[in-house]
Amino acid sequence: MKKGFVLAVFAYLVPTFILGASWHFLFFRELYDSFGIYNRPDPIIPMGFGSMVIQGLILAYLYPFYFHSGSPIRRGFQFGVIMGLFLFSVSTIANTAKIQVSNTGLWFAVQAAFHFIQFGVTGPLIGLVYRNLRNSPA
């Protein structure tokens, strides 16, 4: 496994774990409880982390196919927005269709903010990891 790939996985994992844990369990715990959708009293943290590992592996794999030229930060941000919208559609929109949420508008807003921050940070970081992609293939 190439060093850049591993670093790109960590560029996604570290900020996502820090943001996710603090967002869901510290800053907005009561708000998420009020939505009535997360009803497991003791979340299975390793399972959530495993999900993040899979996401990080996929993003680190896909980015080299997306990047062709330009600013690594700008292209990384664009990639992050695309991937963030994709994940938002799965984690928020599709779940809202299947799960009773007490306040759908607020749920959409808080989830949109979370994903924008998450991918607004991780996309450019992945772009920076792969900034020399033209000179050395992933």
Count Cβ neighbours within 10 Å for each residue of 93-129 and write b for 16 or more, e otherwise.
eeeeeeeebeeeeebeebbeebbeebbebbbbbbbeb
User: Domain for residue 135, yes or no?
Assistant: no
Identify whether 30 is part of a domain: yes
Q: Which of 2-6, 37-41, 74-78, 130-134 has the lowest mean pLDDT?
A: 130-134
Q: Classify residue 16: in a domain, yes or no.
A: yes
Q: Let me know: does 123 contact 79? Beta carbons within 8 Å.
A: yes
Q: Is residue 138 part of a domain?
A: no
Residue 33 lies in a domain: yes
135 pLDDT higher than 50: no
Domain that holds residue 95: 3-129
pLDDT at site 9: 97
Residue 112 lies in a domain: yes
Model pTM score: 0.88
Residue 5 is predicted with a pLDDT of: 95
- Residue 136 belongs to a domain: no
Render pLDDT for 11-63 as a digit per residue (tens, 0 to 9): 999 999 999 999 999 999 999 989 888 778 888 999 999 999 999 999 999 99
How many structural domains does the chain have? 1
Q: Is residue 137 part of a domain?
A: no
